[in-house]
Chains A and B, each alone.
Chain A
């Protein structure tokens, strides 16, 4: 203790706590590893701190994860890039631990360091590390090694490159499915660094192995690699090697593989070019849209817009649109829901005429779907179709759909539609809104469910922001303030909440003339809950209105409340008074 100067005390504690029994303190110290390193200086960090970390790596996974993360940005603290290699040993051991997230983070940090290392250091330190991991006794080491090849390969001399490719090939055929999965996941990244001639031979043969793996989970990841590989190859090679594989996969026995294809297919279209897309990928995609398994159709339906964006509109209308029509009446609500969430995006692709002729009937039928999610998804993307054909064609069907959702017996559905009301208002315009939706917004303020009333109050505020205070004065404020006379105190509370939200948007004049009197009146309420909420609202109004109003109206009311028989009312009134005092001190 005597040796440690007073200002060093926090650092000393930090270092000691690297080995504290409490995991939170260890974690805290590891998070501040760079502070410790700076306190020790670069040389002692290299010679003492890093070896210390390497030796003490049997800590809890949370600590190891933090350590793996910190070490990734540690190059400046060990003396720059020329000393980067000292960071490899502790990360190497972290690459072997059992917990996946620690390993992943260690690999990520190694990649980050490796990307900055000098070429000769990579050959001298990084590649041997990679080879040790790839030949590791435990599968965990081999899993980690797969994610490092793309960093090591570009710097390796020719002979070593051959060795690395062979090594990767072995990993693709490892006994453990975990290793093969990792090899499949990282194949695209590795392939991007491999020279074209080897790409066509070595990498493609690895890819072939993986696509024929016994384990579905490996094949799944191989599908993901398809698009990445496809982009690296020349179009004709892609057509020759990748296309047959993906077409095969699109008819795989396993629905999970087909599901992956449905998700990935559009990415491949660009790689193979327009002609093979038309002749092979479109038919494959159409098959997936009509798959027996609903999960596959969900994935395919969700990509309809992205896929059509790549095709020309003629092809889309000819091939995809008939499927879309079928999907809009699919037996699975989740398929319809997935379709509804993207189908509006097709309008800009197809253009005005085709949209009116072909898509509009689908929109309308989805708007009448029995499943609320489907209708909600359509409504949520209304702006996209509005730009193409205007809202008028839809408004006839839109209104009943909105009204029905607004009155749905599930409050979560009501909540969802409230969220979209400001969007609808901006799309439909003031006139439409006043006629049809204004009443609904008021109705929600009187909902039985608190979350709905809460959202409704917020909605009132957002509408005011959309249409401006003048409009609100005419169409919202009087109706809202009317409800303060509701016999049920919970509804009166909602109005107070709405007032506190409206006040900042309406500005000080309207707040003083219209809103404030209502709040002051409510302070005479018989229910204490209302009264202490009045105190809270008044507190929120203080910054909005003029000082004179605070003095003349708000403070007297608060003073009165602060002498209320109810303890909670007194508490919040006192709070509000204190905040008003502070406000005065600040302004003076």
Chain B
């Protein structure tokens, strides 16, 4: 409809709805294959550049993917976005490596099993081509370094390798013994050896250094650099890096701790909502995130549906928040489920730090950090479920924790739902975009009709409900909505319109 020039001339116009296409799937299930519990993906995260993607699963593994399509951009991304025709190139990833991040443990003091399930992954600053990331299960955070190492072969030893093996026990046991005999200080033990030994001034020509032949082959090696343990009494739900590049936070149900990446044996408690008497407990922390650029600002959400922004400069223990965001309860709408569904399962800062996206059970809300009277936009995710809340409560689905994400440009938001569906909404002013996609090779097949009106004003609820009624909980295949196939985890590529989402053990990637 519009030429590129006209769009530029009329920037106020809302962006077009995106046409989502399937890109890739990793770990696709074959028909009839049963999903192993340990293979279910429990965390997804793109790194800052979008060149890498990490997933964590219930088996405690972290899998890394790397982008394979060309990394240099000839055409500025914004120009590409404006183009009418589908762009040939889109982010493509390939499996890079995987490693076992966490193992199941048993806390003998508390007689408690600690699952190996990865709750969150966060990428850290890349250095020297080595990748760094934080992964956490319920109790322990680990700092990983993943690095390519060239395969090396060593030859030309002083001692015949075959004989050296025979002498290996002598050789390897004699040297450490030397240290012990001389009491700890290795320097001294060398001196001892040196004094016994007189070297000719020109050195000993018969000795030679091993020759190392570097091959082109490389090996990816993941090493755990640090373990941040024993700082959480409750289950860790979030970790988040600070923009200063040296600290991060970890949040559990009642506390948020601040760590230095280089110091694993101490952390500082910065938020503590534990009441003196646990019977007075009414609210728990559900998610926490640092502001993307302001090192002193962080936000955390609660089970009562509020978001608190705190300023670390104010006080060492941030008991009082700088800002509180919550939506006043609509009069007369209170029910048994009101409090349960108000619980926020995830919050994310937009890249510029101005907006916060939150997900509660039924909705996505976008908040302006400068406006604490209410959300600037509310998106109904699966309003047709409202009559079914009772069933959802009985089968515990109502406590499912859906994640949410924002596009890099901040123009769209996305979150998951049941039956492996996820939804993308436009949040630019005037946008009516509200797309439902299915995590399958044909994402648009559920798009029976394209919603043309925004579904976020309250008046639209009835319409959406009606839309649900038109299509009463039955998917395109005629199956009833399936509460066991839920799409909890998804992530938006930081610079392009590409979404990675997890359906059980499969990772689906889409682009637009």
Which positions in A face B, CB cutoff 8 Å? 1, 3-5, 7-8, 10-20, 22, 24-25, 28, 31-32, 34-35, 38-45, 48-49, 52, 55-56, 58, 96-100, 138-140, 176-178, 181, 214-217, 252-257, 292-295
Q: How far is the CB of A158 from chain B (nearest CB, A)?
A: 35
How would residues 260 to 298 of chain B score, 1 for a CB under 8 Å from any chain A CB and 0 otherwise? 001000000000000000000000000000000111100
Extra contacts, 15 of them, besides A8-B204, A40-B209, A140-B128 (Cβ < 8 A), are A3-B158, A8-B207, A11-B204, A13-B159, A15-B209, A17-B171, A19-B212, A20-B172, A39-B203, A52-B209, A55-B212, A178-B125, A215-B244, A252-B313, A256-B313
Q: Does chain A have a CB within 8 A of B38?
A: no
Given A176-B245, A214-B295, A217-B244, are A35 and B193 also a contact pair (CB < 8 Å)?
yes
Q: How far is the CB of A575 from chain B (nearest CB, A)?
A: 23
Are A39 and B209 neighbours in the complex by a CB distance under 8 Å? no
Among candidates A1, A31, A48, A178, residue contacting B245 with C-beta atoms closer than 8 Å: A178
* Residues of A contacting B370 in the complex (Cβ-Cβ under 8 angstroms): none
Are B190 and A35 neighbours in the complex by a CB distance under 8 Å? yes
* Residues of A contacting B203 in the complex (Cβ-Cβ under 8 angstroms): 38-45
Q: Which of B194-202, B398-406, B422-430 contacts A (4 or more CB under 8 A)?
A: B194-202
**Separation of A295 and B294 alpha carbons in the complex (Å):** 22
**Separation of A359 and B266 alpha carbons in the complex (Å):** 36
In the complex, the number of residue pairs spanning A and B with C-beta atoms less than 8 Å apart equals 159
Are A10 and B246 neighbours in the complex by a CB distance under 8 Å? no
Interface size on B, residues (CB 8 A): 56
Closest A-B pairs by Cβ, 6 of them: A41-B203, A254-B313, A12-B158, A31-B186, A98-B127, A13-B171
**Separation of A18 and B262 alpha carbons in the complex (Å):** 28
Are B206 and A4 neighbours in the complex by a CB distance under 8 Å? yes
Given A7-B197, A58-B150, are A255 and B315 also a contact pair (CB < 8 Å)?
yes
Q: Which A residue sits closest to B175, measured CB to CB?
A: A28
**Separation of A140 and B245 alpha carbons in the complex (Å):** 12
Q: Does chain A have a CB within 8 A of B306?
A: no
Q: How far is the CB of A74 from chain B (nearest CB, A)?
A: 13
* Residues of B contacting A176 in the complex (Cβ-Cβ under 8 angstroms): 125, 245
Q: How far is the CB of A489 from chain B (nearest CB, A)?
A: 30
**Separation of A16 and B174 alpha carbons in the complex (Å):** 14
Are B244 and A10 neighbours in the complex by a CB distance under 8 Å? no
**Separation of A4 and B171 alpha carbons in the complex (Å):** 14
Are B245 and A138 neighbours in the complex by a CB distance under 8 Å? no
Among candidates B125, B199, B247, B313, residue contacting A41 with C-beta atoms closer than 8 Å: B199
Are A8 and B206 neighbours in the complex by a CB distance under 8 Å? yes
9 contacts between A and B (CB under 8 A): A11-B197, A13-B158, A19-B210, A31-B187, A34-B194, A39-B199, A39-B207, A100-B262, A254-B313
**Separation of A14 and B186 alpha carbons in the complex (Å):** 13
Q: How far is the CB of B56 from chain A (nearest CB, A)?
A: 22
**Separation of A491 and B417 alpha carbons in the complex (Å):** 68
**Separation of A34 and B194 alpha carbons in the complex (Å):** 9
Q: Does chain A have a CB within 8 A of B391?
A: no
Q: How far is the CB of B105 from chain A (nearest CB, A)?
A: 25
**Separation of A295 and B317 alpha carbons in the complex (Å):** 10
**Separation of A364 and B244 alpha carbons in the complex (Å):** 46
Are A138 and B179 neighbours in the complex by a CB distance under 8 Å? no
Q: How far is the CB of A133 from chain B (nearest CB, A)?
A: 13
**Separation of A321 and B399 alpha carbons in the complex (Å):** 58
* Residues of B contacting A45 in the complex (Cβ-Cβ under 8 angstroms): 203
Q: How far is the CB of B207 from chain A (nearest CB, A)?
A: 6
Q: How far is the CB of A99 from chain B (nearest CB, A)?
A: 8
Tell me the chain B residues, 226-262 only, with Cβ under 8 Å from chain A.
243-247, 262
How would residues 122 to 148 of chain B score, 1 for a CB under 8 Å from any chain A CB and 0 otherwise? 000101101010000000000001000
**Separation of A28 and B174 alpha carbons in the complex (Å):** 11
Are B128 and A97 neighbours in the complex by a CB distance under 8 Å? yes
**Separation of A8 and B203 alpha carbons in the complex (Å):** 12
**Separation of A19 and B171 alpha carbons in the complex (Å):** 14
Tell me the chain B residues, 292-315 only, with Cβ under 8 Å from chain A.
293-296, 312-315
* Residues of B contacting A292 in the complex (Cβ-Cβ under 8 angstroms): 315
**Separation of A253 and B322 alpha carbons in the complex (Å):** 13
Q: Does chain A have a CB within 8 A of B316?
A: yes
How would residues 196 to 226 of chain B score, 1 for a CB under 8 Å from any chain A CB and 0 otherwise? 0101111110111110100000000000010
Q: Which B residue sits closest to A60, measured CB to CB?
A: B223
**Separation of A55 and B172 alpha carbons in the complex (Å):** 25
Are A17 and B316 neighbours in the complex by a CB distance under 8 Å? no
Are A216 and B313 neighbours in the complex by a CB distance under 8 Å? yes
Q: How far is the CB of B278 from chain A (nearest CB, A)?
A: 24
Q: Which A residue sits closest to B209, measured CB to CB?
A: A52
Q: How far is the CB of A5 from chain B (nearest CB, A)?
A: 7
Among candidates B159, B175, B206, B294, residue contacting A25 with C-beta atoms closer than 8 Å: B175
Q: Which A residue sits closest to B296, measured CB to CB?
A: A216
Given A22-B172, A38-B199, A98-B130, are A293 and B316 also a contact pair (CB < 8 Å)?
yes
* Residues of A contacting B190 in the complex (Cβ-Cβ under 8 angstroms): 31-32, 34-35
Are A3 and B206 neighbours in the complex by a CB distance under 8 Å? yes
* Residues of B contacting A49 in the complex (Cβ-Cβ under 8 angstroms): 209
**Separation of A270 and B163 alpha carbons in the complex (Å):** 69
* Residues of B contacting A7 in the complex (Cβ-Cβ under 8 angstroms): 197
Are A10 and B157 neighbours in the complex by a CB distance under 8 Å? no
* Residues of B contacting A214 in the complex (Cβ-Cβ under 8 angstroms): 293-295
**Separation of A19 and B213 alpha carbons in the complex (Å):** 12
Are A12 and B159 neighbours in the complex by a CB distance under 8 Å? yes
Q: Does chain A have a CB within 8 A of B319?
A: no
How would residues 160 to 176 of chain B score, 1 for a CB under 8 Å from any chain A CB and 0 otherwise? 10011000000110111
Q: How far is the CB of A83 from chain B (nearest CB, A)?
A: 15
* Residues of B contacting A25 in the complex (Cβ-Cβ under 8 angstroms): 172, 175
Q: Which B residue sits closest to A7, measured CB to CB?
A: B197
Q: Does chain A have a CB within 8 A of B149?
A: yes
Are B243 and A138 neighbours in the complex by a CB distance under 8 Å? no
Q: Does chain A have a CB within 8 A of B112?
A: no
* Residues of A contacting B448 in the complex (Cβ-Cβ under 8 angstroms): none
**Separation of A217 and B225 alpha carbons in the complex (Å):** 23
How would residues 319 to 346 of chain B score, 1 for a CB under 8 Å from any chain A CB and 0 otherwise? 0000000000000000000000000000
**Separation of A295 and B247 alpha carbons in the complex (Å):** 19
